[in-house]
């Protein structure tokens, strides 16, 4: 499968972006993956996306001196080497991955159309979040896509501590031209409630990329000072 890779520094991390041509995918390309048998029943599109994501992940791991291909866990999550956190995402013909020694989550999404945004908004945000998105200077379809993507990034960053939380378990509290903050509710995870997660974002062509960067306790919670992700118990 034809691919092109380039690293992109962003928000203190280095994203590894792989653009790929799914039409050039061949079944034998999967033999490069140690876990290729796990993909035997997947569709052609899914196989190409998975391969591109793992290629991006391999580039990310090599950056920290690790030569490995992340396997697939019981929940279909990527399996990262001990002591490392990582995240993979793909959309259309782009895949990306990031690696860190702190919790990290990344997501890429195509910007919704006005029609799609109107139709999906009730399942992604509530009325309070809608007001925050509408108060930003961003077009509503872009703002809603960012809300969706930011929640996906947060779920990925804490996938080992939560089990399929709904979109209503993390609420948008602010949205600017560079970041979006989310309030984690008890429904997300009892141990994660009353915390705020900040995600950085940027637009690439007709897609947005969000990256979890930091987490803090709410100002009224004096039991712990603000901390970066590395301070969260693993």
Taking all residues of the chain, what is their mean pLDDT, rounded to a whole number?
89
Which of the pair, 60 or 190, is modelled with greater confidence?
A: 60
Q: Is 204 annotated as a binding residue?
A: no
Pairing of strands 13-20, 195-204: unpaired
What is the Cα–Cα distance from 15 to 59, expressed in whole angstroms? 10
Q: Is 205 annotated as a binding residue?
A: no
Question: Are 98 and 59 a contacting pair, CB within 8 Å?
Answer: no
Q: Is 108 annotated as a binding residue?
A: yes
User: Mean pLDDT, to the nearest integer, of 167-180?
Assistant: 94
Residue 225 confidence (pLDDT) above 80: no
Q: Is 152 annotated as a binding residue?
A: yes
- The residue assigned the tokens 């997660």 is 197
pLDDT of amino acid 224: 31
pLDDT confidence tier of residue 191, bands split at 50, 70 and 90? confident
pLDDT of amino acid 194: 75
Domains of the chain: 3-100 (3.90.470.20), 108-231 (3.90.470)
Task: Count the helices and strands in the chain (H runs, E runs).
Answer: 4, 11
- Give 38-52 pLDDT, tens digit per residue: 999 999 999 999 999
pLDDT of amino acid 216: 59
Crossing angle of helices 114-124 and 140-157, rounded to 10° = 40
- Give 42-82 pLDDT, tens digit per residue: 999 999 999 999 999 999 999 999 999 999 998 889 999 99
Q: Is 207 annotated as a binding residue?
A: no
Q: Is 169 annotated as a binding residue?
A: no
Beta strands in 92-219 (DSSP E): 94-100, 106-110, 170-175, 179-184, 195-204, 207-217
pLDDT of amino acid 192: 75
Q: Is 26 annotated as a binding residue?
A: no
Q: Is 46 annotated as a binding residue?
A: yes
Q: Is 100 annotated as a binding residue?
A: no
């Amino acid at each position: 499968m034809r691919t092109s890779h380039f690293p992109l520094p962003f928000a203190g991390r280095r994203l590894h972006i792989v653009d790929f041509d799914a039409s050039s995918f061949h079944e034998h390309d999967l033999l490069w993956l140690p876990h290729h048998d796990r993909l035997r029943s997947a569709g052609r599109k899914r196989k190409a996306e998975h391969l591109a994501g793992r290629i991006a992940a391999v580039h990310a791991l090599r950056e920290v001196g690790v030569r490995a291909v992340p396997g697939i866990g019981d929940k279909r999550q990527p399996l990262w080497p001990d002591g490392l956190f990582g995240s993979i995402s793909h959309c259309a013909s782009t895949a990306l991955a990031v690696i860190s020694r702190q919790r990290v989550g990344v997501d890429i999404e195509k910007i919704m159309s006005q029609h799609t945004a109107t139709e999906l908004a009730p399942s992604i945000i509530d009325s309070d979040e809608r007001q925050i998105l509408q108060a930003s200077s961003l077009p509503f379809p872009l703002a809603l896509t960012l809300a969706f993507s930011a929640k996906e990034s947060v779920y990925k960053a804490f996938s080992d501590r939560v089990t399929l939380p709904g979109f209503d378990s993390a609420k948008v509290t602010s949205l600017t031209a560079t970041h979006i903050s989310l309030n984690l509710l008890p429904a997300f995870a009892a141990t994660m409630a009353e915390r705020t997660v900040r995600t950085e974002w940027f637009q690439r062509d007709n897609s947005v990329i969000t990256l979890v960067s930091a987490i803090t306790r709410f100002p009224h919670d004096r039991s712990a000072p603000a901390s970066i992700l590395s301070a969260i118990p693993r």
